[in-house]
Every structure is written in C-alpha cells, then in structure tokens.
Amino acid sequence: MKISNKTILITGATDGIGKVLAIEFSKLGSNIILLGRDASKLDKVYDQLDQSNASQKHLILEADLALLNHESAHEILKAITSEYNSLDGIINNAAILGTMTTLEDYELSRWDEVLNINLRAPFILSKTLKPALENASDPRIIFTSSGVAKIGRAFWGAYSVSKFGLKGLAEIFANELESTSSIKVFNFDPGATQTKMRASARPAEDPSSLKTPSELVDCYLWFFSEESSNSKKHYFEYDELSRKVTST
C-alpha cells in the first residue's frame, strides 16, 4: 500500500477506530494529523504515534466539530498548509451516537449536536480542505457509514438521519469530483466493531463477539492503494471489502 510519507487527517482520533488507524498508519510511515476535542487524549495518542522516522511529522489539531464553522475550518486549513505541502487524505471518522429514543421525545439541542458533528462537520472540512488535497498525487476523502444509513430504525434518531445524509453527501462529492479532480471519494461501513459507541448502543451485546478496530486497518489501507484508484465503486461494507483485501 502506498501509505509511506502520506499526510492523513483523521477526525475522532482519540478513541476507537480513529485512534487505531492513527497509530497503525504512523507505523507505516504516514504523517498523521490528529483532530479531536479532548486535549489530554490527543496528547496521549500523539505519544503513541511512531516517530522513529526523522522525516515524519505529526500534528495535533484541537477542535470541537459541533462548533465548526467557515472561519474555524479555514484555520484548520491554514494550520495544515503551514506544516505540509499537501494533504493526501481525510478520514472522516468522528461521530457521536446521540440519544436512543423516539423522534417525538428527541431533544432539539441533542439533535443539532449529532447532525453538526456527524454530517455538517464532514461537509465543511471536506470542502474547505479540498485545495490542500488537490496538491497531492492520489488524494482521498473517506466518509464513515453505518448499517442505519440504508434502513431507518426506530430509536436511532439523529444518528441514523446523519448517516443517511452522509451517504448522500459522499455520493454527491464523488459524482462532482469524478471528472474534475484527482480526489477519490469513498464511503465505508465498518460494521459491528468493538467501540465505546457500539457498547452504548447495544449494552447487552458481548463485545468479544465483535471484530476489533485493528481488523479494519487493511480495509482503510486499501482506500489508499493503486487498486482503489481504478475502482468505480464508492460505497463499501466491511464484509465485501475485507474479502477484496484478502484476495489481493
């Protein structure tokens, strides 16, 4: 996989899938930009990044995606372009579950927070950071999907709505950029995985029955591969992509 020396921004990089991707990608030579809202957690993950290669440069960006706007997104762009010549990838991983309740009982403030983090922020970041991506040779934008992005389920409320919206957003970005840019856009449903969010959504579930975030690394690496450059598909689920990765 062509991952060495690539500069990759990972949102929600302090826990779960984002944290594991940051650590494992750094071991393969990537420059990692950690974006999260908890400074202490960001520092702890930063300390776990591989820094044995003198040419690697990692960066911490502390930002609350619930409050992201045009101005703060441009500050992020400025911080990235001041440190790197280009941005090779954005992994839009950050998300919150919100409240598991009926739509009738859903609190509007919580609804807005979920939509802001899960949908609005990936939109703002992706459009704002596009100039930095255009400077890379094989840039990628990766959105994170969910099983509730395809079928509405009772009590999943704002989270499900945000993932429906994100699926559409990824499709529109992919369609618009297909003939005008070298940026490839993918949307990936990692499926049931051992994360804090999964435990919150399904507290009675045995976590040992689920795959770990580490088992997703090869799938995410595939998105940066030469094979993915020729892919006409933009939406992948874990089972399908894991078979593809295993067979190559």
Could you give the dihedral angle defined by the CA atoms of residues 220, 226, 231 and 236, in that order, rounded to the nearest 10 degrees? -10
Task: Decide: pTM greater than 0.85.
Answer: yes
Active site (catalytic) residues: 159
Q: What are phi and psi of 133, to 5 degrees?
A: -65, -35
Q: Describe the strand order of the beta sheet including 184-189 as a list of residue ranges.
A: 59-62, 31-36, 7-11, 89-92, 140-144, 184-189, 235-237
pLDDT digits (tens, 9 = 90+) for 219-242: 999 999 999 998 999 999 999 999
Per-residue pLDDT of 176-235, as tens digits, reads 999 899 999 999 999 989 899 999 999 999 999 999 999 999 999 999 999 999 899 999
Residue 5 — left, alpha, or beta (φ > 0 → left; ψ -120 to 50 → alpha)?
left
Amino acid at 203: P
pLDDT digits (tens, 9 = 90+) for 43-96: 999 999 998 888 899 999 999 999 999 999 999 999 999 999 999 999 999 999
The one-character DSSP state at 193 is: B
Correct CATH for 7-247 of 3.90.700.10, 3.40.50.1110, 3.40.50.720, 2.60.120.10? 3.40.50.720
